[in-house]
Amino acid sequence: MSSKEIISDLNFGEKNPIQISISAYGIMFLLLSLAIGLIGLQLNEPLLYFPGIVPPLVFVLFILRLSIAKGLEIEVQVTIPSTQVKAKSFVTIEIDFIAKAKIRGLVSIETSEGLFPVVKPEHSFISLNNDERSTDTFVFFAPRRGKERVKSLSFQYNGIIGFFYAEKTVEINQDLIILPEPQRIQLPWNLKQRIMDQFVSQITVMIKGRGTEFLALKDFEYGDELRHISWKATAKFNKLISKEFEEPMQLRFLIVVDGSLSMAGPKLEFALSAAIELTTVIRRSEFTVTILVHGDHTYRNIKITSSSGALQSLAIELHNVIPLGTGLNYDTLYDTITTKKLTNSVVIFISDPELPKNIIQEGLVKIRRYSQRVFFLSCFTPGFGALSYSEVRDELVDSVYQYNYRREIIEKKILREYEKQEAQIIVAVKSSNSNYHSLETYNTNVLLELKRALDLENKIVRRSRSVMKNA
């Protein structure tokens, strides 16, 4: 996005009152100096007058200096290149200063807790002469999607560092929308298009019509075009025979993102990122696509339009999705598909199927009946689970025995449990005449996983045909 100036000529002038702050050390320092001065007066010791008078005198001079400096008048201009950034990316905030008088101090910027300062901290020291200009850049890291805020900008004019200072603060209150992160593996567009073409050619449903692919011969009927008459067949059967053709049905896609609590964490982040990646490629292929974020019920129902800003609007729509509900409710999903006229779609699930096998099977059977194809991309793997043994830090173990026990006993037991439960899920999905594919990790691209699923299906089909042919 182009640079966006969010605040122009922000002024640290009279509209923003000065706050003079004295630290605890400063209070102790002033009290101690006054005590020493009083002792000097009592003892009539001139040597004790100096440490007793100087700190209060410095404080008074500091106040006078502020009045001469026109109340810390600094013109400030704040610029944020974009107020919409993707998660796991950087946010830059540029600040231009123009001083009305010679001044030195510390500039700080306050943000919400989800923005982490990098390169330099959220504080910066500036020293400006009269009418001098300075530019400073603050860089923050946005690790997760959601909404963050740039709250305020402060300037501290130091009297004695650590003891007392004057501060002025202006409110910024600019919201930043942190969009879902991109896929960890980025593919070139030509590869994305090849995968999509393979996917479409494999799932395309052919219907009778006026296409170019020959289907069969039939008796000539009123309304058939004369150019489709097969004269050879007409002469053979001694009656008018017409050729029947087939044409591809216009595909439409339905991407179902499991928005239940079973997807909390990196699984949901990957699912939202995968939905955007799939939508980008499908929309470029000029197919219609709808996204459902569904848990107990449908939280988001997003139909992607053909407008130029549709993908950006999709990312904004998904930036604040939070997991709700205990699991994916197939009954309410079925109701949404039928009532919202989303039937006869190619359905792509991105889900963690933690429900019992019979519930998954019954739900998919109902949905498959009103769909062209169903692809189930499963996040039910150790790579996504909280028990992911690959992410347990080895330095947490106390001995070699504990390390070996975890590696050889605990982790293998966890893996066997996953494999056992996943085998039941595969049976439930395939019994509903749906395609199942396991996502091993979020360090991948959903299109690559889709290609692996298609290649595996083709391999199984070829093997089945070979067995039937040999039989």
Over residues 230-248, the mean pLDDT reads: 81
- In percent, how much of the chain has pLDDT > 90? 25
The segment(s) of the chain belonging to CATH 3.40.50 are: 252-470
Over residues 44-71, the mean pLDDT reads: 68
Contacts of residue 107, defined as CB under 8 A and 6 or more positions apart, other chains included, come to: 95, 97, 123, 124, 125, 126, 136, 153, 154, 155, 156
pLDDT given for residue 387 in this prediction: 44
Digit-coded pLDDT (tens) for 157-203? 766 555 666 777 888 888 999 999 999 899 999 999 999 988 888 77
Q: Is the pLDDT of residue 4 over 70?
A: no
Closest CA to 156 of 90, 209, 109: 109
pLDDT given for residue 44 in this prediction: 76
Q: Where in 199-342 does DSSP place strands (E)?
A: 206-209, 213-219, 241-248, 252-258, 288-294, 298-303
The segment(s) of the chain belonging to CATH 2.60.40.10 are: 4-179
How far is Cα 104 from Cα 124, in angstroms, rounded to an integer? 11
- On the 0-12 / 13-18 / 19+ scale of CB atoms within 10 A, 223 is exposed
Closest CA to 255 of 183, 163, 350, 171: 350
226 vs 278: which has the higher pLDDT: 278
Q: Is the pLDDT of residue 378 over 60?
A: yes
At 458, list the tokens. Answer: 């083709």
- CB count within 10 Å of CB 94 equals 15
Enclosing H/E stretch for 154: strand 146-160
- CB count within 10 Å of CB 82 equals 15
Strand order in the sheet with 213-219: 206-209, 241-248, 213-219
SS3 380: coil
Digit-coded pLDDT (tens) for 304-328? 988 878 888 999 999 989 998 888 9
Torsion of CA 322, 327, 330, 333, to 10 degrees: -10
Digit-coded pLDDT (tens) for 329-349? 999 999 999 999 899 899 999
The mean pLDDT value of the chain amounts to 80
SS3 79: strand
SS3 358: helix
pLDDT given for residue 130 in this prediction: 75
pLDDT given for residue 69 in this prediction: 54
Enclosing H/E stretch for 75: strand 74-80
CATH of domain 252-470: 3.40.50
How far is Cα 105 from Cα 128, in angstroms, rounded to an integer? 9
130 vs 111: which has the higher pLDDT: 111
pLDDT given for residue 253 in this prediction: 94
How far is Cα 448 from Cα 192, in angstroms, rounded to an integer? 9
- CB count within 10 Å of CB 459 equals 10
Out of 3.40.50.720, 2.40.50.100, 2.60.40.10, 2.40.128.20, select the CATH number for domain 4-179: 2.60.40.10
Over residues 412-420, the mean pLDDT reads: 78
Beta bridge partners of 331: none
